[in-house]
Chain A
């Protein structure tokens, strides 16, 4: 038997079917958690944001517009909640400070592991708008048009934002001596 699609599950959720909500939760818990983690770089915060996202989804079931795909709605909430979390905790500035100038110099050869860790640090040193587009592309595997839907910006802007985000990441990695 085919698995119910998101739209069908949402229709059942609106009618009060908790099982349908749980199915959506199982389906999207991991991507939402990973998106939140990459936005916040903190497991506890990612956990709390993930919880908030799904509670918010449930609370706003009756406001869901079926013209949009469920994933774009839930991902948008996840990114917005993460950004709000950062603002509330005023962490962006601290992270910028904490991760600055940690490299061994441009001559250092980075292992894959160092590069991965360096990339995680570099991600936290670009603005949340650029980080969001990178996460949508590389963590959540969204296409340009899907990113456009989640962020509610034109596809052309998605491309330019992705390109700028990558340039910034390269600069940060170079500063960290990892590129």
Chain B
């Protein structure tokens, strides 16, 4: 038997906490002699409770920093260029694929290093496209996820022939130094690329490359591993003098991703 629409409305109002005392009395009187309406009340109350009890989720801890890093310093009214937001909408800062596919600004820079002068470099220009999209999980790709208040995101390691590509897709609340160290002397720094943001600070010396990030950054570090031997790279993330995260990523022989 169909339930009076007025009773249905009262049931829903009661469940939603939007019923007046007079309506509540009216509802109670209506429910008293109406098993169908009682059943509906019970059913809707249960459904409503289940919905109310869905877990409250915490956003990723780095999200606030990523948003603040993406917000320009000047308020909208003070900016002459009103188009900045369009590109951000097209590709939120934490997901890069669309923007890079569209050919966003990309800089490739090789920096001074005590290893540069005597080594034969592989031209990494063609590999810049390898960081043009989010690195997928898969064989031959080692991914480390970082979720600390100071720095969050992911680092992946893969290879293209003798080149190891360490891809940093990170966001930090403040300046964070990343120190990549490797003990194998046959491995040397072969290049560095960054996406979108200009002005990276990087230095390379024997067995160690240091980069600084602040805000959201996407870097790729290229190391030449001519022997293609197994190599472990230690990554330390430092905020000031404090090491906030320390991990090893390892290239294993035979895990050719390129």
Chain A interfacial positions (CB closer than 8 Å to B) = 13-16, 18, 21-22, 25-26, 29-30, 33-34, 37-38, 43-44, 46-52, 54-56, 58-62, 112, 115-116, 119-120, 134, 137-139, 143-144, 159, 162-163, 166, 169-170, 173, 179
Contacts and interface: CB of A to CB of B under 8 A. Distances in A.
B44 interface: yes
Interface of B: 8-9, 12-13, 16, 18, 43-44, 47-48, 50-60, 63-64, 66-68, 70-71, 73-78, 84-85, 88-89, 92-95
B60 A60 contact: no
B54 A120 contact: yes
Nearest to A37: B57
A-side interface mostly: helix
A16 B74 contact: yes
Contacts of A30: 56-59
A119 B71 CA distance: 36
Contacts, number: 123
A139 B48 CA distance: 11
A21 B89 contact: no
11 contacts: A30-B56, A30-B59, A52-B92, A55-B92, A59-B84, A112-B50, A139-B51, A144-B16, A159-B13, A163-B9, A166-B44
Best-surrounded residue of A16, A43, A59 (most CB of chain B within 10 A): A59
A179 B95 CA distance: 39
Nearest to B53: A116
B94 A51 contact: yes
Contacts of B55: 116
Contacts of A56: 85, 89
